[in-house]
Amino acid sequence: MCGIFGALDAPGEVHVERALDALRHRGPDHRSFFADERAILGHARLSILDLSAAANQPMVSADGGAVLVFNGEIYNHHELRRELVAAGHVFRTRSDTEVILEGYLAWGDGVVPRLSGMFAFAIWEPRARRLLLARDRSGKKPLYYARRGRELRFASEPKALFASGLSREVDPSHIPGLLALGYVHAPNTMYVGVHELPPASTLVVDDAPDPRVRAYVASPVLGATSHDAPRVATAKVRALVEAAVVRRLEADVPLGAFLSGGVDSTIVVGIMQRSTGRRVRTFSIGFAGDDRYDETRYARLAAAAFGTDHTEFRLEPSSFDLVERLVWIHDAPFGDSSAIPTSVVSRLTRQEVTVALSGDGGDELFCGYQRFVASEMAEAVPRLAREAGWQLASRIPAGRSDRTLFAKAHRFFQHARRPLAARLLGYYPYFASDLELLLRGDFARSVDAAEPLSFTEAVLAESRGRSTLRRILDHNYRTYLPYDLLVKTDRSSMLHSLEVRAPLLDNDLVAYAATLPDHLKRRFGLKWILKRAFRDLVPEEILSRKKMGFGVPLGAWFRGELSTYLRDHFTNARLFEYLDRAYVDALVRDHMQGRADHSQRLWLLLTLEIWLRSFGRSPGSD
């Protein structure tokens, strides 16, 4: 895992060493750069595979015709290497980096869809005067770029672009999207002139007047439906998951796993333990004083069942000390407060290992969220019944917690009466339903407050004609997964130079899971086929438990130990340049008095305020 930076046709000075220094958390082991009269390619390395100096980057081909900087891991590099050797290619290292480079020389841009793994890379051809940027299918590894005239700069994180000399300026036009979704989706960012390369895409700069961004593969969820019998499908899922985990066990550094006590991470750890024949190091985190958010009992149960070398951490409200650092590492405000425990467990895990496997992706592939089924069920309820249910539910306050049965019923009827796009948007716990009240009138008139809904409708339009559940899964795979879940995991782990691998997002597994009919995913409960495939491996108590989710007890924290911290940040806040002060004050007041749980909304506003305050001083300087 590493950080990359580059510049093409820069008219002035490019502070490449400062840019690489800004990425030192992603690559603490070695930093270097290549430069010619047109291009600069820089690399900060976290050494994982082939620790020799020969595998350092930038890597130049033997004939000098191509230069590569690469962030990620390629899990099918052995197969590709054998194919290339048979075609006459000679290798100097054991690294997967060189496989990409030689693959490009053999297949050109066609190397990109052949890669199975997580990656963001750039290849420069000095003689052809051609630059290729590429990003993996799910969007595990980040890649940003800025175009100013003919100049193009790119980096793993926006902070490296700014360290290289680009100006840093807020783009307020994307604040409505942030407030509705909790994130800003590609190609947008919160900065003027900075774009995110979408997942499963390439960007090419050559003699054409403008860069060309293209998708190299379609969404796997939209493919044909499998007609495999349940028994056959179950066996295939089992084999694909096992193969995916085994492929991710290759490393020349210590390796372990996150163990939450949920089904997905338990499956991954169980396969690791059986495959390696030695005690796997596992790590979990819990929360002091609130059992509703604490899964450590189940993690201990799984660790005992597999005999892992298990370490458990406890999170206190004092962990908020790192919130400004998290905003810095994200380069933006963000709505997912589980970045706090993810960062803490990553920091403590890094003290023992350099690579950790996670269960990310299982919920997305196999229908692991209640909101998926709730959104699907709403389609079958007559419109008048949906309206009547909401009229009844709306008369009763939602209460102090969003996890009670009534709170869930309240959400169901609130969203069920809406069309599918608005319904999916409504399940985000932020401001999709009341943006017009939250935004200041003058600011609201200057931006497109309907953009989040338009974005959701555009994604759903591409799956028209499929089943409701399949459309929901496709939407989630292309939105929440790459722009929330994977961003959180990448930034929170790389802040501490920890590489996290997600076997359940393996190309082959994703492709097959996408073909499975709906009833095999939510038959007799969520993730039916995945649980059935591993019912002999996962303890029954974990298989049958209700999904908890990886949350933080923010509601209680904001009413208790962190109430002063929250109020201080909303006093003379910069966010009131864009938002209505009275509406935000009412949210805080209602939350503190227990009339509602606005913790996720307040967290998002808190990160927005901290990010806005970072302008005018060096971000991450504290």
Distance between CA atoms of residues 73 and 81, nearest Å: 14
Biggest distance spanned by C-alpha atoms of the chain: 73
Query: Choosing from 1, 2, 166, 421, which is the catalytic residue?
Result: 2
Q: Which two tokens stand for residue 452?
A: 């989040």
Q: How many CB atoms lie within 10 A of CB 306?
A: 21
How far out from the chain centre does Cα 164 lie?
25
**DSSP assignment of 128-158:** TTEEEEEE-SS--S--EEEEETTEEEEESSH
Distance between CA atoms of residues 177 and 461, nearest Å: 19
Q: Is 367 annotated in the active site?
A: no
Counts for the chain of helices (H) and strands (E), in that order: 29, 17
Specify whether the CB–CB gap between 564 and 597 falls below 8 A: no
Q: What is the DSSP letter of 483?
A: I
Q: Under DSSP, is residue 95 helix (H, G, I), strand (E, B) or coil?
A: coil
Task: Find tokens 């895992």 and name the residue.
Answer: 1
Q: Sheet of 201-205: strands edge to edge?
A: 59-60, 67-74, 117-125, 130-135, 201-205, 212-215
Q: Which two tokens stand for residue 457?
A: 């409708």
Closest by CA to 497, choosing from 399, 337, 353, is: 353
Q: Which two tokens stand for residue 479?
A: 């939105």
Distance between CA atoms of residues 119 and 103, nearest Å: 15
Question: Could you list the active site residues?
Answer: 2
